[in-house]
Amino acid sequence: MTEPALRTEALQKLFGGLAAVNDVSLECHVGRLHAVIGPNGAGKTTLINLLSGDLAPSGGRVELLGKEVTGLAAHRISQLGVGRSYQRTNIFMRFTAFENCRLAAQSRLPSSMRFLRPAVRYAEVNDAAARALALAGLRGRAGVVAAELSHGERRQLEVAMTLATQPKVLLLDEPLAGMGAEESARMVELLRTLVAGHAMLLVEHDMDAVFALADTLTVMVNGNVLASGTPDEIRANDEVQKAYLGDADD
Amino acid sequence: MTELLVEARGLHTYYGSHHILHGVGFCVRRGEAIGLMGRNGMGKTTLLKTILGLVQPKDGRVTVNGRDTTHAPPHRIARMGLAYVPEGRGIFANLSVKENLVMAARAGQWTLERVLETFPRLAERLGHGGAQLSGGEQQMLTIGRALLTNPQLLILDEATEGLAPKIAREIWAIVRRVRESGIATVIVDKNFKAVNAVTDRNVILVKGQVVFEGAAQELREREEVRVRYLGV
């Protein structure tokens, strides 16, 4: 197999005496989707925070494209090619979809943050924003103010903003949360197309989506990895059934 | 007994200049379980908030047990037996689990003991702060708190949102038990199958208007209605 885009080794995060993430080792490869599932409070979002640099690990290492990035600040890790979305929508409601994306794209080109030149004049930034919107399926909604977008479209916009930073690795925290049936189906299709060019780590409770998309699954419980494997292996795992999926099939 | 518990007629509700509810009629009979359905942004939560007095309608009328509550403050409506489990839970983070549970308790069939029997996870965490609970535990706490008010109607708005599949199933089992205890319920949830299975009657909202109202069984059989209005 090719070298992983993102790799962790015995990653750990302590909050006081509580190991929110403990001894987690995993790999993400370009073209593959790695899903992390587990009960509420298992440490999934903390894991994403460690990978994005929003939190510094207490132990272990994180490697990005073969280089160690353990403990680097979030903006550095972002510039090195890791994009993340959040569980709760994090967008500027009074900006248009395009302006939201342009702002994200500007982070790739720090000189574009200069005060004296309007951001609209940076062709490179504008192109990146437009590409990201198109990829996320929002081309026709570029000029719409975020507050006027539907919930599903706002989640798409979050993905677009993540894409505007031109990442190699995508960390997505519950992108399907709060979506209706059709919005979910659209997002699943979007993620499927994005996997091709990215290494994707997905935290999600929608099991239909997870099992439809994932190449590899890691199941976390109480900060630890309970099981790791292909969708079929995970579905057949008794411990996972007991801890997370439950017995009934509905 | 089929007496009306809640009746709303001709509700028009606005947020600023946005006209959200366009003449909605909606009723809940005693002990009845209703699934309130519709895509995102169709007015489900606004309808619930209007009934609960959290949002004032510009036009229309709401009665609870035959008494006009259209412009009554929320606490008065709550005291008439309506309990609300809101989207996003609304736990008091600086109160303990026990304090959260008993803060609005009223005498009735649901006692603290019975709630703790129903939610053993909460019994293990009585002294913990509300913010130290996992998402599933917080959801159980909000439902337990609502049950302790011994309501005539329990309103659940997206109670399984963001919960692990196993916990969501536990919540549905509890909803069934609440229903069996004779409390009326109004349930909003993304999981059509689960809502439909635990309710008697289903109501679908599209752009602030009721477009379907019928037995849960009927909606199970009418695929064209489901596909058209819910996409399932």
A174 Cβ under 8 Å from any chain B Cβ: yes
Q: State mean pLDDT over A61-79.
A: 95
Tens-digit pLDDT profile for residues B102-160: 998 999 999 999 999 989 889 999 999 887 888 888 889 999 999 999 999 999 999 99
* Cα distance between residue B178 and residue B80, in whole Å: 18
Nearest by CB: B166 against A180, A182, A246:
A246
| pTM (2 d.p.) | 0.83
CB–CB contact A178 B190 (8 Å): yes
pLDDT of residue A118: 66
b/e map of B120-134 (b: 16 or more CB within 10 Å)?
ebbeebeeebbeebb
Q: Which chain A residue has the Cα nearest residue B134?
A: A41
β-strands A6-15, A18-28 pairing:
antiparallel
A120 vs B90, which has greater pLDDT?
Answer: B90
* Cα distance between residue B28 and residue B47, in whole Å: 13
End-to-end CA distance of chain B: 33
Query: Which residues of B fall within a CB distance of 8 Å from A152?
Result: 40
| A217 neighbors A230 (Cβ within 8 angstroms) | yes
A17 Cβ under 8 Å from any chain B Cβ: no
Tens-digit pLDDT profile for residues A4-19: 999 999 999 999 888 9
User: Would you say the ipTM is above 0.85?
Assistant: no
Q: State mean pLDDT over B40-44.
A: 92
Mutate to test the interface with A, among B190, B193, B198, B229 (most CBs of A within 10 A): B190
CB–CB contact B40 A150 (8 Å): yes
- Return the percentage of chain A with pLDDT > 70, whole number: 93
Pick from A101-110, A111-120, A123-132, B27-36: least confident? A111-120
| B215 neighbors B201 (Cβ within 8 angstroms) | yes
A218 vs B87, which has greater pLDDT?
Answer: A218
Domains and CATH numbers, chain B: 33-42+78-229 (3.40.50.300)
* Cα distance between residue B21 and residue A126, in whole Å: 39
A173 Cβ under 8 Å from any chain B Cβ: no
- Reported as a pLDDT band with limits 50, 70 and 90, residue A55 is very high
- pLDDT score of A88 more than 80: no
DSSP label at B193? Answer: H
Residue pointed to by tokens 């619930």: B48
SS (H, E, C) B52-86: CCCCCCCEEEEEECCEECCCCCHHHHHHCCEEEEC
Tens-digit pLDDT profile for residues A195-232: 999 999 999 999 999 999 999 999 999 999 999 999 99
Of A228, A130, A129, A214, the closest CA to residue A172 belongs to A214
- Reported as a pLDDT band with limits 50, 70 and 90, residue B1 is very low
Closest-CA distance, A40 to chain B, in angstroms, reads: 6
How high does pLDDT run on average in chain B? 93
